[in-house]
Structure 1
Amino acid sequence: MEEVQEQQNKSRVVKVDSVESWDFYVGQASNQGCPIVSHFTASWCMPSVAMNPFFEELALAYPDVLFITVDVDEVKEVATRLEVKAMPTFVIMRGGAVVDKVVGANTEEIKKRINGFVQSIRVNVA
């Protein structure tokens, strides 16, 4: 029972709480050729908060992708930089550049886009 509890506490999603940590993670992932999926959220936005467990599931399903969550109120500069205007917004990045963006709590669309993106990377690498 304790093991299950411990596993639930180990999130695969990295919470970014400053511009510096955003730049650090994006820089590190870019250097390693690791794609990034960012969930731009806000604590007051219920659809955004409702997406957290789904985002956690995605992180477990795609271990080769870095999943980041960003609270737009805590890190406004990053949200502005990536032109995030609504929550939730999911941004897919590679090499530090935005390659796709999904606005809204549309789980099927998000899954489809991430899956397509991951497949295209695997094809290009193979």
Structure 2
Amino acid sequence: MGLCFSSTPADEDEPDSHPQFDGGNVTLITTKNAWDQKLSEAKTQGKVVIANFSASWCGPCKSIAPYYVELSEKYPSLMFLTIDVDELTEFSTQMDVKATPTFFMFKDGQQIDKLVGANKPELQKKITAIGDSQVPTAHM
């Protein structure tokens, strides 16, 4: 399981480089306002939010990003977000992100789960459990 600890990135002169952190059904969040809007939207739609706090310089973040995009396509009933910890440093600190990647799961604006590190099997297990519980049931 890989993780990166917050530090000064080596290539700080490339702030716009987001190595495939978005795509599929993943939305890249670059402002606190965008975060608030997406959380509100998810609450209104009854969706669970999966939030990936990553950094463009973090190797494990880059390695799990394509898998995260894949999961977003497999579970369209969930809302997948990626937050760049370097762009939203203060917010990441408020969320108590100490290492990247850190995945948070929110339902109705409340945190329901958390996973630290690029652990594909554990991430899949958590998302599958949430995704399967989100399947709408027919009311007769």
Q: What is the TM-score normalised by the length of structure 1? A: 0.85
User: Gapped runs of 5+ residues in structure 2?
Assistant: 1-21
Q: Percent identity?
A: 36
What SS class does the counterpart of residue 74 from structure 1 fall into?
coil
Where relative contact order (Cα < 8 A, 6+ residues apart) is larger, the structure is 2
Secondary structure of 1:51 counterpart: helix
> For structure 1, which runs of at least 5 residues remain unmatched after alignment?
1-8
Q: Is the 8 A contact 2:24 2:70 kept in 1?
A: no
Higher relative helix content: 1
CA shift, 1:120, in A, is 3.3
2:104 maps to: 91
- 1:30 counterpart = 2:43: yes
Structure 1 runs (4+) deviating above 3 angstroms are: 120-126
Displacement after TM superposition at 1:121 (Å): 3.8
Alignment root-mean-square deviation, CA: 2.0
- Counterpart residue identity of residue 59, structure 1: S
- CA distance in 1: counterparts of 2:89 and 2:107, whole angstroms: 21
1:12 maps to which of 25, 43, 46: 25
Query: What's the TM-score once normalised by structure 2's chain length?
Result: 0.77
Output the CA distance in 1 between the equivalents of 2:135 and 2:75: 12
Q: CA deviation at 1:110?
A: 0.4
Query: How far apart are 1:51 and its partner, in Å?
Result: 1.2
Q: 1:11 to 1:120 in 2, by over 3 A?
A: closer
Q: Determine the C-alpha separation between the residues in 2 that align with 1:125 and 1:77.
A: 43
Which secondary structure does the structure 1 equivalent of 2:103 belong to? strand
Aligned mate of 1:82, from 80, 95, 102: 95
Q: For 1:66 and 1:123, how far apart are their aligned partners in 2?
A: 15
Give, in angstroms, the shift of residue 70 of structure 1.
0.5
Further displaced range: 79-88 or 41-50: 79-88
How far apart, in 2, do the equivalents of 1:125 and 1:19 lie?
36
Are the equivalent residues in 2 in contact too, given 1:27–1:96 (CA < 8 A)?
A: yes
Match of 2:99, SS?
A: coil
| Secondary structure of residue in 2 paired with 1:25 | helix
How much does 1:123 deviate? 8.3
Determine if the alignment matches structure 1 residue 53 to structure 2 residue 66: yes
